[in-house]
Structure 1
Amino acid sequence: MNLSRRSFLKWSATLGAMGTGLMSLTACSQNASLTGGEGASAGEQIIPTASTQDCGGRCLIKAHVKDGVITRISTRSAYEEDEPGANMKACLRGRSYRKHLYHPDRLKYPMKRVGKRGEGKFEQISWEEAIDTIATETRRIFDQYGPESRYCNVGTGDTGGVIYRMGLGGRFLSATGGYLPLYNSVSMGNTGTATPYVYGVAATASSLDSLKDTKLVILWGHNTTETIFGASNYYFRQMKNRGCKFICVDPRNSNTAVAFADEWIPLLPTTDNALMDAMAHVIVSENLHDQAFLDQYVQGFDEEHMPEGVPAHESLVSYLFGKKDGVEKTPEWAEVICKVPAETIRRIAREYATTKPAALIQGWGPQRHSCGERTALGATMLASITGNVGVLGGWAGGYIGLSRKGCIGLPDVPNPYPGAIPTLSWVDAIECPEKVTPAEGLLGVDKLNSPIKMLLNLAGDFIANQNPDINRTIRVLEDESLVEFIVVSDLFMTPSARYADILLPGNTFFERYNIGATWNNGDYFILSQKIVDNYYESRSEYDWLAEVADKLGAKDVFTDGKTEEEWVRWIVDETRAKYPETLSWEELEKVGISKFHYDGPRVAFQDQIEDPVNNPFPTPSGKIELFSKTLYDMHNPEIPAIPVYVPAWEGPEDELTEKYPLQLIGWKTKARDNSTFYNNPWLQQAMVQEVWINPMDAKPRNIVTGDRVKVFNDRGTTMLQARVTSRVIPGVIAAPTGSWFTPDGKGGCTNGNLNVLTTLRKTALSHGNTQHTSLVEISKL
């Protein structure tokens, strides 16, 4: 590649300085407020900022800058006071951001594909050529196929920012005529869709500080220690010190279970509802349920509280005691299915029902299954029958999200196209759009009149790494008669970047302005400041999309006359107008974080419980609907009206187990954020890509720890190292998600990526993600 003398000298000196300590780089952005601080060395300045990666931590990052180079990253110390609702200490990933920023493999220049799509062969081009090509193809495809032929895929590389790159892609396509958008989260779409059928809304969590006096917490597939979900660990440590008991229900003895659990209860994946149903049976049969709560606030618990027009024996109680199917959902019944001993089920059911208050908190992993919606609803059922909804220290179950104070977002550019598809339907929308129907989740239109022909992939590794069934996906992408134009903007040559026609070097959050927005950690936001200049010719997607929009006559619509920094300033000003306590821009440059007024813990549905007359639940009945008439009227056996156990496809009762007897699950790790940071050298040392297998499954296969093994099914094969451990239940193998797909040319991956094994088949209700439902076999190489 051609390299200008200026760029060569600039970045050679910088990268050389990483090892020698000789610091030389262009000056920091003139707009950055460079302030010294406690702990700063001579000539060093400390600038507060925030990552905008797809992470629930949303922590305050301190960039130590000397001579225009970030020399190290620090975070809040253990001696800095944490105020209620705002804990912002960086985790292992946060402390390694410098290795991400200065990684020698970062993309440096715009490039165009010169080989077959997917070969990874590119040549350097100018930004002018890249922008001209994108503008020409954008116009051609729109004119030839219409707006629904253009699609912007999931990009989880920076969804923690108010201005996020996938959103910018959609904004650009809306400004230039419209596009086919997606809906439903890959992470928690099944829960987000199912929960409103019970409570009327998706956001059902209380704030973490509401758990201060909770006596018992059941973490159901919730691995906070590795995922850093909000400030969970911070609060859980405090609760543990006050004597709160923790029980972890999980097929794997996760790091969270090791750190917090008084008891680990392993169960087979997809059988969660059997365990939940048996717990409910114990609670009701032993009269431990809160009948007064149920009488006043709940529809569908028993036959006396059912909606009109429903036949007999459809209530929860009738189901639990076998009034319709003749099968009582006893602990003995559940033990056969989920492998949790009957006496253990009885004990934890009694403990959950009699401990006041108690919180059953379900993670997002259990709902990324073929039975995901039912599992999500099971948690709401247990919370309701024990009266743990709407009370301080309880937990309503369902989606882990809550409405909080927050900063203002960008005003929308309306999309002229009315349709939308589920997140995981994009491959079908390319290859066989006639299959994407309203029955399969198509919204707003009756059919797709065109397949997807143009694909934007901005800050995302979803198209050829995180997407299920990679082998099918890449076959579709490699066929240039299908998708005609793919634009990728990213930091590295990721597996997805290899499928670009135009490949552009994106920049990091250190090189642009944004707002780091909290999830459910607390009431605050952080100014994400531009601290260093762009790496080589990397650019913000906002800037080059504005130039493409300009060539298409839509720049004013896309930008509204503002630069990216000016939009961030606008967000701060508008937020300050709504919440006067918001810090000014100048103050944010110095301290980074703006905290909203803290008004105490937030308890989901507290208003509905304390004043039900004036605050009914936003459901058809105005109550918690353990029985949903809306679901009942769908007449779909995979979507029952109450959260009951239904054997999952590719679950332990599927006939396919005769060929593939093991269930495969993946877990999020402390070393990666989806597939982001996979190539970070510090984090690679912290996480080995290995598959866990129980000794009972390893012995007959002659597998010992350290063996190279292959995991396979009809969709593909992946190879990685084995770890024989009792920390995973027999019948299940588990491995970290997010390793980079490295094909062997025969449908296999040599690097342990799990998505050669996962399925594009979707859930019945939300048409959502089922990536943890995969039957496989494993053998020694």
Structure 2
Amino acid sequence: MENRSVMTRRGFTAAMAAVGSAVGIGCLSSVQGGTLKPAKAVAETAEEKVVWSQCNVNCGGRCIFRHHVKDGRIIYTETDNLGNPNEHQARACLRGRTYRHWVNSPDRLLYPMKRVGKRGSGEFERISWDEAIDTIAQQIQKTIDSYGNEAIFIHKGTGKYTAIGTDDTKTGMLPQRLFATLGGYLDYRGSYSIGAMQGYSPFMFGATYNPLDNVGASSVSEAENADLMVLFGYSAADTRMGGANGVWDMVKVRDSGTEIIQIDPRMNEQCSGFGDEWIPIRTGTDGALASAIAHELIVNDAVDLDFLHTYCVGYDEETMPESAKGKNRSYKDYIMGTGYDMVEKTPEWAEVITTIPAAQIRVLADRIAKADRLFVSQGWSVQRHSAGETNMMAICMIPILTGQLGLPGTNTGISMAAQVAQPLVGSIPQPENPVKTSIPVYQWLNAIDHGEDMTTTNAYVLGADKLKTGIKFFWSFAGNGITNQHGDINLVHDILQDESKCEFIVCHDIMMTDSCKYADIILPDAMVAESMGLSTNGYAEYYNGVTLAMPAQEAPGEARLAYDVYAEIADKFGKKEEFTEGLSHDEWIERIYNEGRANNPDMPSFEEMKTVGVYRFDLPSQIGLKDFRDDPIANPLSTPSGKIEIYSEQLAEMAETWDIAEGDAITPIPSFEPGYEGYGSVTEEYPLYCAQFHYKARTHSCYSNVPEIAAVARQQIWINPQDANPREISEGDICAVKSPHGEIRIEAHVTNRVIPGCVFIPQGAWHDADMFGDRVDHGGCYNTLLGYHPTPVAKQTNSNAVIAQVTKA
């Protein structure tokens, strides 16, 4: 009988760390009888070679690597340093340059494993690939026979962006391709990053509007043609680092002479490096500031009435739809206090909410009014709030009121375009999903807990009036979103303990993440550096390109390419030929590349790309809604009116017919709403507003377990001295942070770079708690503190909304 061992994640990590010290990083090991033995060494090579590759995690950059390989393993990684240094280079950030430490991490998954303890205990035993695939196939068939394909859910994962892996377009996603061949699955809409924006902005700009391309937003570089750039909650220097990302364009905007105003509760890296002025604001109150700016524009006759009356619905009584005329329901009525809540949105009103002095709001409004070319934009943090949907659109009202969109040097107020070119290559095709029902991605936990109760009006179910069944079979690939990246980790843990709700969970990943502890079967995947990969330029706005990555070293243990694993699962159902179309993984890569080259004949041949690695060319900047601005009759938006709908009849109807949770609101116009655990919700027990921010130490939870990064970019709570001093908290102290939903331990960073009354925690740190004990998280994972409360309309993530107390531990 095969000798098996039971290991917890802590034991697994400690054992692997010991082996790393004994045999050297990169020579990983096997688990046998509770001891670790060195894996078979990769075949040695006589000379060092350089292998082109790419950083494929979801910061959007997909920066370029040049792995130096000797004796079959990566010895160091440099980046895109060929060619003229004065021209664009897709150079990796310092985080990405630690890739060799990440790929050789002691947290790597080496073998298929099955759970032997409770979900969340981290207790697993090693099994063979045959047993893993047989078990999974049996559970898939059992689920289909018992509940139907709608009971199968594939969670969104963004840790492996390649043509055959995961992709924002969902065309390259392997689990989806597999389950589509097996009869379908419950689909999801949107993402954790930008789900509220994707789900809500179409009510104003139309269903064809997509904040991830140039349909509705301008590229960052267009701000070079502006004289004033106003940014709400945006920091490319934290979230879009690297030469293939947005920070590159911010350098050019700054150097062009454009004045940059940064509005953020935290003096982030971009504020300190790219801003002419930082305006601190209480977290979650951007909509109040935008409304007060709108008030000043209106009272000072600084609005563009011709634009508003030609291109928009709902600004004033004259532009209201017939269904809402004569009811004081226009946007102007809301701002001037003659409708809705009957409160005039003056700077004095906003000062109490935002902490920004009324005089400063008036000065800002005046600068906006006088700008010849105004570029207004926001990061994704505003919409990641329980009331972020309507607050996000309130910001869009600034360029709409001034008519500053669709023109050179302007933007729509939404986030800058994240992808402005047709990709040079596609992805492995996605067969049509026979199941037509879908839910917002953040709703999967509700669909496990009480799926049969979820409807269109209470959970935004589409394709059916309600779900037929809850989620019984859950698949997670290249993601850490079961717990670590999901709101209210304690609630997730509690729900998943009831195995009658979700009967089977598969995690397919590269690391022993916190989410993997909840799997019934764990499958080890190969990383991009261990296989051939193909990917585009990601979210880069200023160049179009493609990178062909070649394997630099072998995958450790029995880790395998996901494509081969899924082909074997398909084979159990007699669907292997349909899944593979007779092609191997590398043959698919070649086919996808050549299909792209057929449309772009200047691309090198596939054989040439194996050597040169990268093909790219520069792009011009894009102007959001330019065609609509040039001719609104010939190029109408896809809203019901064809115009920008400041007042949405669709939202008005939803406000009347949908089930709305306590503390939530659906409004037909852009407004300020405090939201669940937002402004006004602090108590004596929880007197501070707490929010997360994306951090240069990692992309979501990727790279979080690289100690070289953690040592220099520490996981700390940012707290103002006015809040720290009364609590006797000093720099470096370990703090206890409590919310109504959980408790963490984290080191203090006492700084004037955040406003009093608000504290901030970097997103993505690995959760580390005894979930069968006190549940106190010692990893500093923000989602331990966050409540699970999807947004009112899009039903997406509310990751920046929590109240808390901080004390010295």
Q: TM-score, normalised by structure 1?
A: 0.92
**Cα distance in structure 2, aligned partners of 1:659 and 1:387:** 46
Q: Does 1:183 align with 2:197?
A: no
* Residue 360 of structure 1: aligned partner: 376
* Residue 490 of structure 1: aligned partner: 509
* Residue 221 of structure 2: aligned partner: 209
Structure 2 unaligned blocks of 5 or more: 5-14, 28-39, 657-663
* Residue 169 of structure 1: aligned partner: 175
Residue 777 of structure 1 aligns to a residue in which SS?
strand
Q: Does 1:763 align with 2:791?
A: yes
Change in CA separation of 1:28 and 1:302 when aligned onto 2, cut-off 3 Å: farther
Higher mean Cα deviation, 549-558 or 604-613?
604-613
1:655-691 C-alpha deviation (Å, 9 max, x unpaired) = x534322111011111111111111122112321111
Change in CA separation of 1:633 and 1:19 when aligned onto 2, cut-off 3 Å: closer
* Residue 808 of structure 2: aligned partner: 780
* Residue 248 of structure 2: aligned partner: 234
- Which of 514, 526, 539 aligns to 1:519? It is 539
Residue 484 of structure 2 aligns to a residue in which SS?
helix
Following superposition, the deviation at residue 124 of structure 1 comes to: 1.7
Residue 353 of structure 1 aligns to a residue in which SS?
helix
**Cα distance in structure 2, aligned partners of 1:222 and 1:15:** 44
* Residue 51 of structure 1: aligned partner: 55
1:415-464 C-alpha deviation (Å, 9 max, x unpaired) = 22221121122122222223322111112123333222211111111112
Question: What letter corresponds to residue 407 of structure 2 in structure 1?
Answer: V
Higher mean Cα deviation, 634-643 or 148-157?
634-643
Question: What letter corresponds to residue 549 of structure 1 in structure 2?
Answer: A
* Residue 645 of structure 1: aligned partner: 672
1:212-267 C-alpha deviation (Å, 9 max, x unpaired) = 22222222101111111663221221222232221111111111111111211111
**Cα distance in structure 2, aligned partners of 1:109 and 1:340:** 55
* Residue 409 of structure 1: aligned partner: 427
Residue 697 of structure 2 aligns to a residue in which SS?
coil
After superposition, where does 1:102-501 map in structure 2 within 5 Å?
102-159=104-161, 161=163, 163-164=165-166, 167-200=173-206, 201-203=209-211, 204-228=216-240, 231-312=245-326, 313-324=328-339, 325-401=341-417, 402-406=419-423, 407-439=425-457, 440-501=459-520
Following superposition, the deviation at residue 14 of structure 1 comes to: 12
Residue 333 of structure 2 aligns to a residue in which SS?
helix
Change in CA separation of 1:264 and 1:630 when aligned onto 2, cut-off 3 Å: same
**Cα distance in structure 1, aligned partners of 2:278 and 2:422:** 35
* Residue 8 of structure 2: aligned partner: none
**Cα distance in structure 1, aligned partners of 2:449 and 2:302:** 53
Following superposition, the deviation at residue 78 of structure 1 comes to: 8.9
Higher mean Cα deviation, 363-372 or 309-318?
309-318
Change in CA separation of 1:535 and 1:762 when aligned onto 2, cut-off 3 Å: same
**Cα distance in structure 2, aligned partners of 1:599 and 1:669:** 28
- The answer as to whether partners of 2:26 and 2:104 remain within 8 angstroms in 1 is no
**Cα distance in structure 2, aligned partners of 1:628 and 1:116:** 48
Q: TM-score, normalised by structure 2?
A: 0.89
Question: What letter corresponds to residue 782 of structure 2 in structure 1?
Answer: L
1:269-290 C-alpha deviation (Å, 9 max, x unpaired) = 2211110011111122222222
Higher mean Cα deviation, 177-186 or 443-452?
443-452
* Residue 607 of structure 1: aligned partner: 627
Q: Does 1:77 align with 2:77?
A: no
**Cα distance in structure 2, aligned partners of 1:254 and 1:455:** 37
- The answer as to whether partners of 1:28 and 1:532 remain within 8 angstroms in 2 is no
Following superposition, the deviation at residue 25 of structure 1 comes to: 5.2
Q: Does 1:582 align with 2:603?
A: yes
Q: How many residues align?
A: 756
**Cα distance in structure 1, aligned partners of 2:203 and 2:564:** 42
Question: What letter corresponds to residue 629 of structure 2 in structure 1?
Answer: I
Residue 746 of structure 2 aligns to a residue in which SS?
strand
**Cα distance in structure 2, aligned partners of 1:376 and 1:497:** 34
* Residue 716 of structure 1: aligned partner: 742
Change in CA separation of 1:326 and 1:583 when aligned onto 2, cut-off 3 Å: same
* Residue 35 of structure 1: aligned partner: none
Residue 225 of structure 2 aligns to a residue in which SS?
coil
Measured on the aligned residues, the alpha-carbon RMSD in Å equals: 2.5
- The answer as to whether partners of 2:221 and 2:253 remain within 8 angstroms in 1 is no
Following superposition, the deviation at residue 207 of structure 1 comes to: 2.3
**Cα distance in structure 2, aligned partners of 1:438 and 1:634:** 10
**Cα distance in structure 2, aligned partners of 1:368 and 1:591:** 40
* Residue 652 of structure 2: aligned partner: 632
**Cα distance in structure 2, aligned partners of 1:15 and 1:767:** 49
- The answer as to whether partners of 2:281 and 2:354 remain within 8 angstroms in 1 is yes
Question: What letter corresponds to residue 426 of structure 1 in structure 2?
Answer: W
1:684-724 C-alpha deviation (Å, 9 max, x unpaired) = 12321111111222233222222221111221111111222
Question: What letter corresponds to residue 421 of structure 2 in structure 1?
Answer: R
Residue 566 of structure 1 aligns to a residue in which SS?
helix
Q: Does 1:743 align with 2:758?
A: no
- The answer as to whether partners of 1:52 and 1:515 remain within 8 angstroms in 2 is no
Question: What letter corresponds to residue 558 of structure 1 in structure 2?
Answer: F
1:579-612 C-alpha deviation (Å, 9 max, x unpaired) = 333332123222222236x562221111111223
Change in CA separation of 1:350 and 1:79 when aligned onto 2, cut-off 3 Å: farther
- The answer as to whether partners of 2:316 and 2:330 remain within 8 angstroms in 1 is yes
* Residue 689 of structure 2: aligned partner: 663
- The answer as to whether partners of 1:131 and 1:547 remain within 8 angstroms in 2 is yes
Question: What letter corresponds to residue 671 of structure 1 in structure 2?
Answer: A
Q: Does 1:685 align with 2:711?
A: yes
- The answer as to whether partners of 1:288 and 1:353 remain within 8 angstroms in 2 is yes
Residue 296 of structure 1 aligns to a residue in which SS?
helix
**Cα distance in structure 2, aligned partners of 1:571 and 1:161:** 8
**Cα distance in structure 2, aligned partners of 1:625 and 1:446:** 26
- The answer as to whether partners of 2:544 and 2:619 remain within 8 angstroms in 1 is no
Change in CA separation of 1:779 and 1:210 when aligned onto 2, cut-off 3 Å: same
Following superposition, the deviation at residue 336 of structure 1 comes to: 1.0
- The answer as to whether partners of 1:87 and 1:234 remain within 8 angstroms in 2 is no
**Cα distance in structure 2, aligned partners of 1:724 and 1:397:** 33
- The answer as to whether partners of 2:261 and 2:277 remain within 8 angstroms in 1 is yes
Following superposition, the deviation at residue 161 of structure 1 comes to: 5.0
Higher mean Cα deviation, 99-108 or 230-239?
230-239
- The answer as to whether partners of 2:115 and 2:521 remain within 8 angstroms in 1 is yes
* Residue 37 of structure 1: aligned partner: none
**Cα distance in structure 1, aligned partners of 2:20 and 2:642:** 66
**Cα distance in structure 2, aligned partners of 1:503 and 1:265:** 47
**Cα distance in structure 2, aligned partners of 1:252 and 1:698:** 16
- The answer as to whether partners of 1:194 and 1:376 remain within 8 angstroms in 2 is no
Structure 1 unaligned blocks of 5 or more: 30-41
Change in CA separation of 1:539 and 1:244 when aligned onto 2, cut-off 3 Å: same
**Cα distance in structure 2, aligned partners of 1:266 and 1:78:** 41
- Which of 572, 576, 579 aligns to 1:558? It is 579
**Cα distance in structure 2, aligned partners of 1:581 and 1:720:** 52
- The answer as to whether partners of 1:694 and 1:727 remain within 8 angstroms in 2 is yes
**Cα distance in structure 1, aligned partners of 2:134 and 2:191:** 33
**Cα distance in structure 2, aligned partners of 1:28 and 1:607:** 58
- The answer as to whether partners of 1:58 and 1:160 remain within 8 angstroms in 2 is no
- The answer as to whether partners of 1:491 and 1:507 remain within 8 angstroms in 2 is yes
**Cα distance in structure 1, aligned partners of 2:683 and 2:689:** 9
**Cα distance in structure 1, aligned partners of 2:44 and 2:544:** 30
Following superposition, the deviation at residue 409 of structure 1 comes to: 2.8
Question: What letter corresponds to residue 496 of structure 1 in structure 2?
Answer: S
